[in-house]
A and B are shown apart, each in its own frame.
Chain A
Amino acid sequence: MILDLAAYLAFFLTVALSYAVITLGLNVQWGQTGLFNVGVAGFVAVGAYASALLTTPDAPDRFGGFGLPIIVGWAGAMLAAGLVSLAVGALTMRLRSDYLAIATFGVAVVVQLCALNLQTVTGGPFGIGFIPRPFTSFAGDPLLFSLANLALLALVVLALYLFLERLLSSPWGRVLRAIREDEAAATALGKPALRFRLQAFALGGAIMGLAGAAQAHFIGFIAPDNYLPTLTFQVWAMLIVGGSGNNRGAILGAVVVWALWALSGSVIGSVFPAGWQARAAALQIALIGVGLCAILLWRPRGILGERRIVSRHLVTAPKANPSLVNNTPPEIPHA
């Protein structure tokens, strides 16, 4: 019983951390750069399918199955999702910012439809199975298997967190924030806004692709239904709940919202009769929506809120200055 619970907890956390990776990607795009991506699911799907194609054994009825090592699949996933992001960004980022939202939404729909219909590549509605799972040698022991996977994802999240913190407190991150604050001023200071935005968008997309691959290899099976707009909604809820602009907030938000999602799912499963469950599932989305509103009323900037990031090289600066820690800078009227 205890062991079952531990195995379930490890499973739950592993899934939650895979969402944390997606949320960290969205935080680069939205939290740090202000790029409104409402097609998150599409970029996750690109990563998942890319890695599945690269790593599954050769399949007679569809293209590929190249049987490459998992690590190659993950790298391929980041590359593919990053390149798709770069292309989408290059096409739309010169336009007004709301076009990016429309374009990303369109990309997600197109990716999902491709997954559904390009049967010879994606396996169509039945998806791709036999995706190699890491640590299969432990498969006999569910607890050990879950813990090993959890450790792997925790490592990925930690590495990503350290990477992003370092990057965002670098001169690159400073330019990104400057562009977000005032594009005209940043441009006048010689910062090509378009290039920095594209970099951030592609980086965020690549991270989403990595998350897609991690999920695919953890479950061992993918299908187009995994990448519906619900996924995008969940990830946005995670980022907003945890605190947009804050990497720790992104991770925390992913765990909290996924807990709420899993819990409400099992409650609905036990309360409603079988015939009603498909319809009752809509309650989950409503519940997350209500939770989101509650958080926003209670803490408008999310649980953790944005921290003011200062260049990591300026550690000689007095750190104890309270105004740097304060979440809400005092407002003064414009001159």
Chain B
Amino acid sequence: MPAAFPSSSDTAPILEARGLVRAFGGLRAVDGMSLVLGRGEMVGLIGPNGAGKTTFFNLLAGSLVPDSGAIMLGNRDIARERPEKRIGAGLGRTFQIPKPFREMTVLENVLTGAQGQSGEGILANFLSPSRVRVEEHRAAERARELLDFVRLSHLTHEPAAVLSGGQRKLLELARVLMADPSVLLLDEPAAGVNPALLELIIDRVRLLNAQGRTVLLIEHNMDMVSRLCERVVVMAEGSLLAEGAPAQVLARKDVAEAYLGQVAA
């Protein structure tokens, strides 16, 4: 084990994964992975293709149920809670391959991220329409701010299907921010994004962390990881391989081998 990194032990943990295991048939995609996220931390999660990073995210976000292990959010084990409950508890995620609601406008995509809207119940639309209207206007105001934040305002009323790959990444970000999560799980937010957009995304993620949100960032772009994160975690073959400051971890021989092994295989 690498020496405990200061920032993880300084702050109270907000999210903790303990010995998570998830197999697909004979393949243990996540194999005893553990991770502690301190409140307000920004941590990079790296590792070769197929290391199990996205599967680990799916476990944290509840799209998949672990075969064993625990996920502590605060002091509650949420490992078996339904995924739609987690965002309400403050845990938000984006997808490696963006999943826009293609036929809906960009604005309505973002509005879907709003939580606790009474208008999402059938009856409230007829029994308390004024309350629904007020909430909807408030949500729309915030959605427009978020679209400004990710610089998609000019596409507000376009169907999401017209967005480019990079714009879809930004839309994912705005949509999950609509729920105001305190922990953000970002799966390769900058993959396939042009250099100008990359700078925007780096800047936005840094701002979100500065606002006090905890960020766990999967990313293959080591430059971006080094610039954003004080601590990185390396996953290989489903479990934790190394942990520490970016420069230190990237210099390690076993980490280099894990990436190289993939090329050799």
- On A, residues with C-beta under 8 Å from B are 166-167, 170-172, 174-175, 177-178, 181-182, 184-193, 199, 203, 308, 310-311, 313-314, 317-318, 321, 323-324, 329-332, 334-335
CB neighbours (8 Å) of A317 from chain B are 107, 156-157
Cβ–Cβ contact B136 & A190, under 8 A: no
What are the 3 closest A-B residue pairs judged by CB atoms, nearest first? A335-B165, A171-B119, A313-B136
Nearest-CB residue, chain B, relative to A190: B87
Cβ–Cβ contact A188 & B157, under 8 A: no
CB neighbours (8 Å) of A331 from chain B are 161
CB distance from A94 to the nearest CB of B (A): 12
A191 CB contact (under 8 Å) in B84, B121, B176? B84
Nearest-CB residue, chain B, relative to A189: B113
Which among A311, A324, A331 has the greatest number of chain B C-beta atoms within 10 A? A311
A335 CB contact (under 8 Å) in B107, B111, B164, B176? B164
CB neighbours (8 Å) of A318 from chain B are 157
* Also in contact, A189 and B87, with CB within 8 A (given A172-B125, A311-B136, A317-B157): yes
Nearest-CB residue, chain A, relative to B94: A188
Q: Is B122 an interface residue (CB 8 A)?
A: yes
* Also in contact, A189 and B140, with CB within 8 A (given A313-B132, A335-B166): no
Cβ–Cβ contact B108 & A174, under 8 A: yes
Cβ–Cβ contact B107 & A181, under 8 A: no
* Also in contact, A182 and B101, with CB within 8 A (given A311-B108, A332-B164): yes
Cβ–Cβ contact B136 & A308, under 8 A: no
Q: Is B88 an interface residue (CB 8 A)?
A: yes
A188 CB contact (under 8 Å) in B87, B100, B163? B87
Nearest-CB residue, chain A, relative to B136: A313
* Also in contact, A329 and B120, with CB within 8 A (given A187-B63, A311-B111): no
Cβ–Cβ contact A189 & B112, under 8 A: yes
- Rounded to whole angstroms, the CA-CA distance of A331 and B160 in the bound complex is 10
Which among B61, B100, B157 has the greatest number of chain A C-beta atoms within 10 A? B157
CB neighbours (8 Å) of A330 from chain B are 161-162
* Also in contact, A321 and B157, with CB within 8 A (given A191-B84, A310-B108, A330-B162): yes
CB neighbours (8 Å) of A167 from chain B are 122, 125
Which among A166, A178, A186, A331 has the greatest number of chain B C-beta atoms within 10 A? A178
- Rounded to whole angstroms, the CA-CA distance of A167 and B126 in the bound complex is 9
CB distance from B173 to the nearest CB of A (A): 13
- Rounded to whole angstroms, the CA-CA distance of A193 and B61 in the bound complex is 16
* Also in contact, A181 and B101, with CB within 8 A (given A171-B132, A188-B63, A335-B192): yes
Cβ–Cβ contact A187 & B84, under 8 A: yes
Cβ–Cβ contact B104 & A178, under 8 A: yes
CB-defined A-B contacts under 8 Å, sample of 9: A171-B114, A172-B120, A181-B104, A188-B61, A188-B84, A199-B122, A313-B133, A317-B157, A335-B164
